[in-house]
C-alpha cells in the first residue's frame, strides 16, 4: 500500500474519476516493470476529511478487451447513503444517489467506448431498477451477465 501525501484536488467526483482512470493506464506499466500484476491493486480517492469517496480496482479498469467481457454495477441505497459494487467488489460510497449514479455511468461509458457491455442495478428499500448499456443491447444473443 502506498499513500500520496501531496494528493491532487479536483472540483467534483466525475473529474477525479477521469483523472484516476488515466492514471491507472500509466501505473499499470510501473507495476509491470516491477514484476507485479496491476490487477492485484486499486486506487482509492479520499475527500478532504480522509473518507474514501471511491475505489478503482485495476482489475476493473484493465479488463481484457474481449467483446464478451461485461460487468454488473450495483448501487445499493439506504438512509445511510449509496454503496457501489462492480461484479460484487466494493467500489465506493456516496451520501447522495446522484453522485453514486454519476460515477457508475462514467464507468459504464468508459466500458461502452471499448464495446464492453454493462448492466446497472439500482436498489433501495422500495424499488429495484435494471438498466442495460447501449453495448449490451448490441451484444450477440446468448451473452450472459455475471
Flag whether the pTM goes above 0.75.
Answer: no
- Select the more confidently predicted residue: 119 or 37: 119
Strands 117-123 and 128-132 turn out to be antiparallel
**Once rounded to an integer, what is the mean pLDDT over residues 33-38?**
80
Considering only residues 40 and 102, tell me which one the structure prediction assigns the higher pLDDT. 102
- pLDDT for residue 133 is more than 50: yes
Q: Is the model more confident about 142 or about 120?
A: 120
Domain ranges of the chain: 13-138
Check pLDDT > 50 for residue 145. no
139 band by pLDDT with thresholds 50, 70 and 90: low
Is residue 123 very low, low, confident or very high in pLDDT (cuts 50, 70, 90)? very high
pLDDT at position 102 is 87
Residue with cell 496491476: 38
pLDDT value at residue 76: 94
In which order are the strands placed within the sheet that holds 128-132? 42-46, 52-57, 89-94, 81-86, 70-78, 117-123, 128-132
Amino acid at each position: 500500500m502506498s499513500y500520496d501525501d501531496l494528493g491532487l484536488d479536483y472540483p467534483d467526483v466525475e473529474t477525479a474519476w477521469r483523472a484516476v482512470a488515466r492514471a491507472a493506464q500509466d501505473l499499470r506499466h510501473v507495476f509491470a516493470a516491477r514484476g507485479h500484476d496491476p490487477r492485484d491493486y486499486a486506487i482509492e480517492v479520499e475527500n478532504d476529511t480522509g473518507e474514501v469517496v471511491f475505489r478503482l480496482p485495476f482489475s476493473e479498469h484493465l479488463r481484457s478487451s474481449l467483446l464478451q467481457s461485461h460487468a454488473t454495477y450495483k448501487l445499493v441505497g439506504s438512509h445511510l447513503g449509496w454503496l457501489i459494487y462492480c461484479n460484487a467488489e466494493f467500489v465506493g460510497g456516496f451520501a447522495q444517489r446522484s453522485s453514486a449514479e454519476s460515477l457508475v455511468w462514467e464507468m459504464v461509458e468508459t466500458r461502452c467506448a471499448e464495446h464492453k457491455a454493462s448492466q446497472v442495478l439500482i436498489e433501495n428499500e422500495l424499488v429495484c431498477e435494471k438498466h442495460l448499456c447501449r453495448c449490451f443491447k448490441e451484444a450477440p444473443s446468448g451473452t450472459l451477465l455475471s
